[in-house]
Structure 1
Amino acid sequence: MKLIIGLGNPGKEYSGNRHNVGFQCLSRFAKDNHISFDKKCCLSRTGSGRINDEEIVLAKPQTYMNLSGKAASQLLRRYNLKAADIIVVQDDLDLPAGKIRLRLGGSAGGHNGISSIITDIGTKEFIRLKIGIGKPDSRNNGTEVVDHVLGNFGGEEREIMDKAITRASEALTCLLTFGLDTASNRFNS
């Protein structure tokens, strides 16, 4: 069994935010695989299904980003899983908008949701699917990072991100089917 956690903030006011790209990707993946988020469990909205022979649980923590680890640790206990069984889908400021990268382990890189998960599950050794949202444009009236990540994608950027989310959904399927090395070689950009 694999647990795929998409990071984001709950509530309609956050649904289009850059910081919610993890939720957006998980919604796309769920739609592509006919999975619905029809349960509430472990501080999360969850859905389950199968990819090939692999049972999967999808989870969108409802704790707000900075407390995502509370949901992740409860989910691991509930399903009797190890960190090696989880995949976390996250936004990444350090990747240009629309780029994706699969990676095992590493630091939180300043991402508070990832930091919370590392703290609460006690390890950084889990797979992350990072979706680039780019850094704020320093010429854009000094937009701060918080304003950037909590801002919505605009026009051309939304088109780029829609394609990235589709590609990230495909990367999840490849990862579950062929493993990290094959998926990384195919999708890391």
Structure 2
Amino acid sequence: MSTINDTFSTNSEEYATPPLDFNGDGFNESFTEIKVENLDDDQHVEQSHHTVELSPNVHITFAQMYTKFDGVQSRISEIGKDMFDYILNTNEAMDHYFLSEQQKLEIKEKWLLEKEILMEEGKCMLIEKENMLMEKEKMLKDKEKMILENESKLDDKNNVLQSIGKEVVEDED
């Protein structure tokens, strides 16, 4: 069994995150455990961590867990933006970590900056994908043009062959 790390680190001590109600239905969501059982030889689970340093003594770590099957990755669960937005915008959750008002402000500013960076990276990735699609489109148009040129050359050769064939038939007569 594998467990996603959903802890908040302060001064190298880890505190479990408080229960969070993301969708406002009054029930606390938890994303602590994902059971990994009865896996075939070619399937395994990989867990990756990303730590954001919000201040010198406050780090937030969130994890993404993937299952790999036949070389295809699919995300099972992600602990990230929603949890931190909740923590940063809920005094009760912030108080859970015994932070001063100044630390809370520093964390909020740092996380907003981190979110901006993530959004910029996402925009850059979209632009790169758009450029790749445009290049592929251009390549397809070039291939279409080459095919049309080749068809035209074939038609010309067929016409030449037909005219030679007619001359040969006329010569035989």
In which range does the TM-score fall when normalised by the shorter chain? under 0.3
Larger relative CO (CA 8 A, sep 6+): 1 or 2? 1
Larger Rg: 2
| TM-score for both structures, normalised by structure 1 | 0.23
| TM-score for both structures, normalised by structure 2 | 0.24
Q: If each structure's helix is expressed as a fraction of its own residues, which one has the higher value?
A: 2
